[in-house]
Structure 1
Amino acid sequence: MTYDLIGDVHGQFSKLSSVLEHLGYEKRKKVYSRKDHCAIFIGDLVDRGSNSREVIELVKRMVEEGHAEAIMGNHEYNLFGYLTEGAKGKFLRPHSQKNERQVRETLASYSGHENALDTHLEWISNLPLYLNNKDFRAVHACWDKKSINYIKKSVGRKMDKEILIGSYKCGTKLEQAVKMIVSGPEMSLPDKIVQRDIDGNLRHNFRYKWWNAIKKSTYQEVAVKDSYQLPAGKVVLPTDFVNREYDEGKKPVFFGHYSMKGKPSLMKSNVCCLDWIDKRNRIGVYRLKPGEKLTHKNFKFFF
């Protein structure tokens, strides 16, 4: 089996269709497939683009027919929380201006298709948080051993609506594990620095390269993005900092989430981020054949 690992799609239905066709997948009875190939969707199928409904339907059909696997991203997790009521009739994710703006395009794509929204939300709630087979590991944001083990032992690989509702209870081990896996670890921005993220939201924290050793590193070396105006000194680690360095002797791990800039490249010999951005909002893909070492030539950046 050859795996085609596909990065964050974010509602770009036409581009995703073109990517699959370029990869040699053919559409039969509304389902894309290719013999001896399996597409792996790394999460964040929704938001930003204008066709999230169509993207979810395409991926859902591929998964149900056995031609793909998909894992949950933070945008699917947030969408579930935004649309699901918890205790006392309150939505799990507040309907703030920031949160409404994030899901606006997604909800617009379901206008006139409310039944599809219910069906898709149920499907999203059952998406696994990670994949771990003999050939590779995949997660949306962070392969955190402690969080993965907690999920594996407490709820198993398969998620459902009630588990996700429980994960919105602040301060619980379940909440911490789920959010670490789908959103990854962050550090506070120093010296009262505030930045805007890709969606225009103000941020007081920054995402860092958890897969590397962090000790004695500078802020610029640690931060995922080079757009932050960070001081030149060594990073000040929080007292509860956990080293999550991904050793090069482990099997390959793939993730998305980080909106990397520049020419797509491997993070390490066995670490691959599939979420890269440019003015064309292209989609990152890595073709993996079992037993092969990761190589830059198998990294594609489409459309």
Structure 2
Amino acid sequence: MLRSYSQALLQGRISMEHSGYDIIGDIHGHAGALIELLEILGYRATASGYAHPQRKVIFLGDFIDRGEQLVEHRKLLSIVMAMVDNGHAKAIMGNHEFNALAYHTEVDGKPLRPHTDKNTKQHQAFLNEYSKSDPEKARVLNFFSSLPLWLDLGPLRAVHACWDQSSVNFLAARAVGARLTPELLLQASCQGSEAFNAVETLLKGCEVDLPDGVSFLDKDGNRRAAVRVQWWSRHAKALGEIALPAGVDIGLAANLPLPAAIPHYPSAHKPCFIGHYWLRGEPAPLADNVACLDYSVAGNGKLVAYRFDGEQLLQKDKFVFVA
């Protein structure tokens, strides 16, 4: 199933003389879906990777994990890395790339991300294809470490989960080109530190602690005592209106007023593109200047792109997807 924009593109009714960005959401090892989407968008395989004569891709992170049945991580990462290395694409870090770096980085003989059953299960699809002694794994992890935590380009912004200016400012003073240093990776792996909170917000979203005794099960069956929120919402009055996933039961906490600490993204700011949130249904902007491109490809959903040509009011008919 294809959106009307991609159908028109295939039929040659849309001019591609101008340049622009094609922004692609979470892929989670689905190389076949990525190739299909790139070809719909007009990218073709070349000696330097998939390329378009006028456009570039922006990948929003979460290239890995999930999809154990596919065994497509190597294929996917070879496509993405070639595109980025040869200037056909830009990419930012997702929480799964951050988790992988912490999982495979040891300090004093201990991994920064503990190898618990839960953490290993979440990372198993990657581990299936990259053994401990595989030299290619080091190249992939080096690629992950090169990914910026955000992009702030002339016409747009991109971050994996949440544009929080205070977190961006904190990390910008400590990162190198918005990239994690080894020291910052260590600090961001220490729960409760300022670096941890800032990276968590950008890569996993803004969370609000629930009252004592209130919790819920997330999509992976883990019990949560904090709820992520729709930081892009501008008209909500109570916590239940912005709690994620939509419709989650947080009991009487749904009537609580909105915490003051929730990031605010003004309507006058440049468009911001995010992934991360496992949305369902028909892709559409979350706000006039915010779009999520994660529509659950790893859960039998869609792999989604947005064809951005500089517009400051995002449009539903600019979404392209394969399902």
Which TM-score applies when normalising by structure 1? Answer: 0.91
Does the CA contact (< 8 Å) of 2:271 and 2:312 recur in 1?
no
**Alignment equivalent of 1:203, drawn from 219, 224, 230:** 224
Q: Aligned AA for 1:60?
A: M
Describe the superposition over 1:258-277 as per-residue Cα deviations: whole angstroms up to 9, x where unpaired: 11122221111001011123
Verify: 1:175 aligned to 2:196, yes or no: yes
Structure 1 moving runs of 4+ over 4 Å: none
Alignment correspondent of 1:17: 35
User: Which stretches in structure 2 are left out of the alignment for 5+ residues?
Assistant: 1-18
Please identify, of 139-148 and 205-214, the stretch whose mean Cα deviation from structure 2 is larger: 205-214
- Note if contact 1:214-1:243 (Cα within 8 Å) is conserved in structure 2: no
- Aligned partner of 1:273 in structure 2 is 292
CA contact (8 A) 2:48 2:86 kept: no
Q: Distance in 2 between matches of 1:195 and 1:38?
A: 40
Coordinate RMSD, CA, aligned: 2.1
2:143 is aligned with 1:116: no
Q: CA 1:301–1:97 in 2, change beyond 3 Å: closer, same or farther?
A: same
* 1:295 alignment counterpart: 315
Amino acid at match of 1:286: Y
Q: Is the 8 A contact 1:52 1:109 kept in 2?
A: yes
Return the match for 1:246 from 253, 265, 270. Answer: 265
Structure 2 matches for 1:252-271, cutoff 5 A? 252-271=271-290
What is the aligned residue count?
A: 299
More displaced stretch, 105-114 vs 288-297: 105-114
Could you tell me which amino acid in structure 2 is paired with residue 100 of structure 1? T
Tell me what 2:47 maps to: 29
Long gaps (5+) in structure 1 = none
Q: Secondary structure at the match of 1:125?
A: helix
State percent identity of aligned pairs: 36
Q: 1:40 aligns with which of 47, 55, 58?
A: 58
Q: 1:144 aligns with which of 164, 167, 176?
A: 164
Among 73, 94, 112, the residue aligned to 1:73: 94
Q: Which residue type is aligned with residue 293 of structure 2? A: L
Shift of 1:22: 1.1
Does residue 61 of the first structure (1) align with residue 85 of the second (2)?
no
| Structure 2: distance between partners of 1:236 and 1:110 | 46
Native 8 Å contact 1:57 1:120 kept in 2: no
Q: Is 1:2 the equivalent of 2:20?
A: yes
Q: CA deviation at 1:218?
A: 4.5
Shift of 1:113: 7.5
Cα gap change, 1:35 to 1:227, in 2 (>3 Å): same
Q: Using a 3 Å threshold, how does the CA distance of structure 1 residues 235 and 51 change in structure 2: closer, same or farther?
A: farther
- Contact kept, 8 Å, 1:144 with 1:180, in 2: the verdict is yes
Code of the residue aligned with 2:130 in structure 1: it is Y
